[in-house]
C-alpha cells in the first residue's frame, strides 16, 4: 500500500482530490464523507458484485437476482459505486467493471480484494473512533479498545489472522518486486519478519539462483511450507522459527526486513536492527535491506504521513524519513548505501560498519 495512485512519483502531488482543495468547507465535507464511499465499496465486495460483473455488464435487477438481494437497494449501492469511480454505468443503467473493481474480484491476478476487506474490517476501523487516545497517552487506540495488542488479537482470532495474511500477500504489487530486479544470481536471503513467506517465495520464483529463509514467530511461519511449494521453490527455501527481537539466524548474504519496522517505535525497531547486526558479525559483504515507505521532508504532501496515523493508532509504531532511518542504522552499526527517493515504498540498503 504505497499510495502510488494518489501521489506523483516525486512525492509532491497533493494526496486529496483537486475538487476538495480550494474551499475549506468543501475540503472538510469531502473528508468526513469518505465513509460513504468506503461502506459502499465494502458492501460491493461482500455481495460479490465484482465477481458477477466479471462475466460482463449487468443491470441492478440482473445482479440482484443472482445475488439474492433487493434490486432497488442494490441499484443505489451500484450507483454510489459508479459515482466513486469503482464501477462504470451506461445510459441504459447497465454496470460494468473498471480497473479498480476488476481488482476486487475473488482470486483475480494482481488483485487487492483482501486488502480492501482488511483495511475496512471493524477491527481496523473502530480504533479510529479514538485516535486522540493514542495522542494523549501513547497507547495504541487498538489496545485501548480491544484490551490487547494487535498481533495478540490476531493469534486469538483465526479468521482475522487469515484475513491479515491474505491482505499482506496482496499488499505487494509489481513495483515491490521490481526493487529487486538486479539481484545477483547467487544469493542467500533471510526474510526477517516475513510471516508465512509469500514474498520470499515469489522473489525466489523470479530469481532461480537465489535461496533463502523466512524468519519469524512459530505461528507466523506455519503456512510457509505450503507457500514455498505453491511457488515451486521448496527446494530453495526454508522457514526458521525465531523471536527476531532476541535472535536472528547467521549465515545469510542479505537480511531483508519488509514493511514491518514501521510497526514499532524506535526502541523496538532498534532492537531488531541490532539483532541483524549481531547475525552479520564480521561479514563486511553482507547487506541489510529495508523495504518501507520513505517519508518526504516537512511541507511536502505524502500519503505516508496519513499511514503514519495508522501505525500510531493500531500498532504504536511510526513511518520514518531518511534521517530517522540513517540514525537507527548508525546506532545498530550500519551505514547507508546511497539515498533513494522519498514519498513511496522504496529499498534502503545498509552495509555493516
267 and 246 belong to one structural domain: yes
Residue 95 lies in a domain: yes
The SS3 of residue 82 is helix
| Span 58-85, average pLDDT | 97
247 HSE (CA, 13 A, CB side): 6
Question: Does a structural domain hold residue 3?
Answer: no
pLDDT of residue 169 exceeding 90: no
How far CA 273 is from CA of 3, 193, 211, in Å, comes to 26, 12, 22
- Asked if residue 128 and residue 260 are part of one domain, the reply reads no
Residue 255 resides in a domain = yes
Q: What is the CATH number of the domain that holds 326?
A: 3.40.50.150
Last residue of a domain, one of 168, 189, 212: 168
**How would residue 27 be classed by pLDDT, with cut points 50, 70 and 90?**
confident
CA–CA gap between residue 178 and residue 136 (Å, rounded):
40
Position 219 in a domain: yes
Tell me which of 10-14, 37-41, 51-55, 296-300 is least confident: 10-14
DSSP 211-280: EEEEEE-TTTTTTHHHHHHHTT-TTTEEEEE--TTT---S--SEEEEES-GGGS-HHHHHHHHHHHHHHH
Instruction: Please report which confidence band the pLDDT of residue 7 belongs to, taking 50, 70 and 90 as the band edges.
Output: very low
pLDDT at 67: 97
**Which of 268, 208, 252, 260 shows the shortest CA–CA distance to 232?**
208
Shortest CA distance to 275 belongs to which of 249, 252, 238? 249
Does 38 share its domain with 88?
A: yes
Regarding whether 144 and 51 lie in a shared domain, the answer is no
Residues 78 and 94 in one domain: yes
User: Residue 311: pLDDT above 50?
Assistant: yes
- My answer on whether 117 and 32 are in the same domain is no
pLDDT surpassing 80 at residue 5? no
Beta carbons within 10 angstroms of residue 291's beta carbon: 19
- Given a contact cutoff of 8 angstroms between Cβ atoms, the answer to whether 11 and 86 are in contact is no
Q: 174 and 281, same structural domain?
A: yes
Query: Is the per-residue pLDDT at 17 higher than 80?
Result: no
pLDDT single digits (tens) 234-291? 999 999 999 999 999 999 999 999 999 999 999 999 999 999 999 999 999 999 999 9
Identify whether 279 is part of a domain.
yes
Residues 63 and 196 in one domain: no
Check whether residue 222 and residue 312 sit in a common domain: yes
Any domain includes 34:
yes
Position 290 in a domain: yes
The CA distance from 274 to 205, in Å, is 30
Cα–Cα distance between 121 and 114 in angstroms, integer? 10
Q: Could you list the residue range(s) of the whole structural domain that residue 38 is in?
A: 18-102
96 and 81 together in one domain? yes
Q: Answer whether residue 96 is part of any domain.
A: yes
**Are both 30 and 73 inside the same structural domain?**
yes
Q: With 80 as the cut, is the pLDDT of residue 22 above it?
A: no
Residue 16: per-residue pLDDT:
53
How many structural domains is the chain composed of? 3
Return the higher-pLDDT residue of 117 and 219: 117
CATH number at residue 94: 1.10.10.10
Statement: residue 140 has pLDDT above 80: yes
Contacts of 330 (CB under 8 A, 6+ apart): none
- My answer on whether 98 and 117 are in the same domain is no
Three-class DSSP category at 88: strand
**CA atoms of 200 and 216, how far apart (whole Å):** 13
Amino acid at each position: 500500500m504505497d499510495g502510488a495512485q494518489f501521489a506523483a512519483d516525486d512525492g509532491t502531488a497533493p494526496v486529496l482530490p483537486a475538487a476538495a482543495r480550494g474551499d475549506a468547507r468543501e475540503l472538510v465535507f469531502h473528508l468526513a464523507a469518505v465513509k460513504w464511499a468506503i461502506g459502499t465499496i465494502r458492501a460491493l465486495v461482500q455481495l460479490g458484485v465484482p465477481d458477477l460483473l466479471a462475466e460482463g455488464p449487468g443491470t441492478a435487477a440482473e445482479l440482484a437476482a443472482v445475488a439474492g438481494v433487493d434490486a432497488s437497494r442494490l441499484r443505489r449501492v451500484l450507483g454510489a459505486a459508479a459515482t466513486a469511480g469503482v464501477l462504470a454505468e451506461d445510459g441504459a443503467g447497465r454496470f460494468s467493471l473498471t480497473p479498480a473493481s476488476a481488482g476486487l474480484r475473488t482470486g483475480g491476478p494482481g488483485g487487492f480484494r483482501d486488502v480492501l476487506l482488511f483495511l475496512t474490517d471493524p477491527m481496523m476501523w473502530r480504533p479510529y473512533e479514538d485516535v486522540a487516545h493514542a495522542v494523549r497517552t501513547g497507547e495504541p487506540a487498538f489496545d485501548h479498545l480491544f484490551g490487547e495488542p494487535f498481533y495478540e488479537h490476531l493469534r486469538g482470532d483465526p479468521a482475522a489472522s487469515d484475513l491479515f495474511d491474505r491482505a499482506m500477500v496482496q499488499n505487494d504489487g509489481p513495483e515491490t518486486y521490481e526493487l529487486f530486479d538486479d539481484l545477483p544470481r547467487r544469493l542467500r536471503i533471510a526474510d526477517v519478519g516475513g510471516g508465512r513467506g509469500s514474498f520470499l517465495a515469489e522473489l525466489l520464483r523470479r530469481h532461480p539462483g537465489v535461496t533463502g529463509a523466512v524468519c519469524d514467530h512459530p505461528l507466523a511461519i506455519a503456512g510457509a511450507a505450503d507457500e514455498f511449494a505453491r511457488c515451486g521453490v521448496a527446494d530453495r527455501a526454508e522457514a526458521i522459527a525465531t523471536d527476531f527481537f532476541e535472535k536472528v539466524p547467521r549465515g545469510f548474504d542479505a537480511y531483508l526486513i519488509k514493511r514491518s519496522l514501521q510497526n514499532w517505535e524506535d526502541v523496538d525497531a532498534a532492537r531488531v536492527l541490532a539483532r541483524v547486526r549481531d547475525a552479520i558479525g564480521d561479514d563486511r559483504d553482507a547487506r541489510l535491506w529495508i523495504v518501507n515507505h520513505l517519508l518526504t521532508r516537512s511541507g511536502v504532501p505524502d500519503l505516508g504521513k496519513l499511514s503514519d496515523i495508522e501505525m500510531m493508532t493500531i500498532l504504536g509504531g511510526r513511518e520514518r524519513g531518511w534521517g530517522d532511518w540513517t540514525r537507527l542504522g548508525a546506532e545498530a552499526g550500519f551505514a547507508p548505501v546511497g539515498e533513494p527517493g522519498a514519498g513511496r515504498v522504496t529499498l534502503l540498503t545498509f552495509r555493516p560498519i
